[in-house]
Amino acid sequence: MLITEFLQKKRPELTPPPFQQRQVAALCYRNTDTGKRILLVTSRGSGRWILPKGWPIDGLEDPDAALQEAWEEAGVRTAYVRSAPVGHYDTHKKLAGGKVASIKTQVYIAQVESLADAYPEDHQRKRRWFSRDEAAQQVREPALKAILQAF
């Protein structure tokens, strides 16, 4: 057993807090005859449904970085993204080397105009359109559920 595991189990008060990182996510949607549909993708590890998201990208503003992630993970070819985040949600992520990071993910709304058939991660992820309520049921994070339900 590693000392960090021992401390977490036996002496949690001595466990150092996780450090905080920031990610950006795209809440991609399209308007249909039956209302707004939200695009979710599966994570590469567990296969659970998530928003396209990733780390900020040097040289890009956060909304543009969120769109870049939407392209790579979901094939969003054309979209109009809002410049201000609609909200954020917090998660924890185990990083290389075993460190645990607290992740604050800023969510940017992107109205999708077109999707590509082929995109960088199409062989690693599934993508699917959901109604607002269906999307909220699929995600795990309570604050993200609230963002989706309020959208």
Mean pLDDT of 134-151: 96
pLDDT of residue 5: 57
pLDDT of residue 20: 67
| Residue 59, helix vs strand vs coil | coil
pLDDT bin (cut points 50, 70, 90) of residue 45 is confident
What single-letter amino acid sits at 1?
A: M
Query: Does position 16 have pLDDT exceeding 80, yes or no?
Result: no
In this prediction the pTM is 0.84
Domain spanning 19-150: CATH superfamily: Nucleoside Triphosphate Pyrophosphohydrolase (3.90.79.10)
How remote is the C-alpha of 89 from its chain's centroid?
Answer: 9
Residue with the larger pLDDT of the pair 91 and 129:
129
Mean pLDDT of 91-113: 90
pLDDT of residue 69: 98
**Mean pLDDT (the chain, rounded):** 90
Q: Beta 19-32 vs 100-115: how paired, if at all?
A: parallel
Question: Do residues 119 and 75 touch, judged by C-beta distance below 8 A?
Answer: yes
